[in-house]
Amino acid sequence: MEQAINHPDTSVIYAGFWIRAAAFIIDLLIAGAAAGIISRILFGNYYMYDNPGSDPGQGAVSLIVNWIYFAWQESSAKQATIGKLAVGIKVCTENGERLSFANATGRYFAKILSTIILLIGFLMVAFDKKAQGLHDKLAKTFVIYR
């Protein structure tokens, strides 16, 4: 569900659940492939295929790769990951500004909370009037159309 508001600078449209889900799937494929390659280099196997969970270092690789992937891109000048760029959305602060790396990092780790509560933090996007998930509310961010 997409809703328009009047932003101080312009009229913005919040990105709804399904468009954000599509972007997230694209991003998970890219970050997962990167984590798999790095895991292969560091541990000699692909962590997802060769006895998952056998080495906690492999889970750490996945966590670090995903954190850097999301936080670095969302705090960049484009304000979006590759997946978000592909579907035409970006992340911004409450004032419509670019996120700092620290803010993007907080948003990323807040996604873990959104996940461990049975994905309810993500489902909130579908029902919130500003299409914010729990992680968006905690980080004081919005996802809007470019």
State the pTM of this model.
0.85
pLDDT given at position 4: 45
Per DSSP, 46 falls in state -
Determine the structural domain holding residue 23 and report its residue range.
4-145
| Residue-wise pLDDT tens digits, 38-57 | 988 887 765 455 555 566 77
Question: What's the total number of domains in the chain?
Answer: 1
pLDDT given at position 123: 97
For residues 3 and 15, is the Cβ–Cβ distance under 8 A?
no
In a 3-state reduction of DSSP, which class is residue 78? coil
Residue 118 to residues 84, 95, 111, 121, 123: CA-CA distances in angstroms?
A: 23, 30, 12, 8, 9
